[in-house]
Amino acid sequence: MTLVKGFRSLCFLAGLTLLGGMLWHVGLAGLSAGLQVLGLWLVPFFLLDSVSLLLHTAGWAACFPGPQRRVRLWRLCLVRMAGGAINQVTPTADLGGEVAKVLLLGSLLPRAQAVAAVVIDKTSIALAQIGYLNLGTVYVAGHLPLPAGAQPGVYLTTGLIALGLGGLVVCQRYGLLSTFVHGLGGFKYGQARLHRLSQHLASLDAHLVAYYTAHPWRFGRSLLLHFLAFVFDAIQTYILLCLLLGESAPGFFKAIVVAVAVAILEQIFFFVPGRLGTMEGIRFTVLSALGIGDVYALAFGLVARLHHLFWNGLGLLAYAVCMRSPGLSEKKSVKPISYVV
């Protein structure tokens, strides 16, 4: 644990150094001029992310079973915002936010059902993102000046991740998670703990099998909605480049190259706390490779930073609102009704 904390601290300092170096290279005057181009368009641009939020939330709503209970879409939006903010601001490798989602749904659903919905949604998002990145990589490989040896590596990496996620779906569909953990109980160490974990997973497996058996089409709808949300992220990239560069902005398909390249590189550097430095450095590098000036390349990265701060702030506010909900604090039950998206 100490080694992990040391590594994350080192990454944080490296990111901070990288960000400082880019600011020194561009200069504050040039950066200010680049950001002033956006002017009053900055906040309306941030609010465009509401479309992605609604698509992702609708995709999550499709991960719940049908004729049992209903959680309002606006409440799911708040819970998703809260979970996303916690994932961003805490060093929990995108797990703390998922635990928070289960907690915030605790007054509305049985715990195992809430966990199942979060697990299915996480799988759906990962598969949709891999599909988006795989399709985008085919296009990027032909348009971005990547080293020839790097292209097969990118294809192989995304392909293996997709294969692993497909295996995870199979495990969920046939209730193999608890069976796998129970099989590990044959080892000498941790038998009691593994046995307890397999018992907890048995209830989760039951909900997962029931969902995939009774509502397989819902998972397909969830995949589609999450995929469309990622596509809209590429559209946002195009809009931002147009706002920053005006008539000299790259075309829509080149903006897709930028969006996909940024998404791939961010997945590689996911372990950097708060993505400090890497968020700006990745965008700076990608735009510089396309021949866009350093001032606008860094402004592009800093707008992304401000965008994340804006939505993380809203997410933390959503978390506070959800935690103050009477249903959560008093653990009141709700009447069984059906999901509607």
Share of the chain above pLDDT 90, in %: 15
More confident residue, 154 or 55: 55
More confident residue, 181 or 88: 88
Residue 193: is it exposed, middle or buried by C-beta count within 10 angstroms (0-12/13-18/19+)?
A: exposed
Check residue 331 and report its DSSP letter: T
Asked whether the predicted pLDDT for residue 184 surpasses 60, the reply is no
Query: Closest Cα partner for 255 from 279, 238, 231?
Result: 238
Query: pLDDT digit string (tens) for 285-314?
Result: 888 877 787 777 777 878 888 888 888 889
More confident residue, 328 or 153: 153
Query: Closest Cα partner for 59 from 141, 9, 111, 122?
Result: 122
Q: State which of 16-20, 33-37, 92-96, 182-186 shows the largest mean pLDDT.
A: 92-96
d(CA 105, CA 6): 34
Region label for 93, one of left (φ > 0), alpha (ψ between -120 and 50) or beta (otherwise): left
Residue 171: the pLDDT is 76
Mutual angle of helices 111-143 and 96-104, in 10-degree steps? 140
Check residue 247 and report its DSSP letter: G
Q: Which residue has the tokens 């990454």?
A: 11
Give Cα 217 to chain centroid, integer Å: 23
Dihedral (CA of 230, 232, 233, 235) sign:
positive
Query: Closest Cα partner for 259 from 136, 131, 130?
Result: 136
Share of the chain above pLDDT 70, in %: 65
Tokens linked to 188: 């000498």
Residue 279: the pLDDT is 76
d(CA 262, CA 282): 6
Q: What is the distance between the terminal CA atoms of the chain, rounded to a whole angstrom? A: 42
Per DSSP, helices labelled H in the chain are: 2-26, 28-36, 42-47, 49-61, 73-89, 96-104, 111-143, 150-173, 177-184, 191-214, 216-245, 252-268, 278-289, 294-323, 326-330
Asked whether the predicted pLDDT for residue 45 surpasses 60, the reply is yes
Query: pLDDT digit string (tens) for 103-148?
Result: 898 777 888 888 888 989 998 998 898 888 888 877 766 665 556 6
Domain ranges across the chain: 15-327
Asked whether the predicted pLDDT for residue 81 surpasses 90, the reply is yes
User: Residue 100 carries which side chain, given as an amino acid letter?
Assistant: A
- Is residue 53 very low, low, confident or very high in pLDDT (cuts 50, 70, 90)? very high
d(CA 312, CA 128): 23
Asked whether the predicted pLDDT for residue 337 surpasses 50, the reply is no
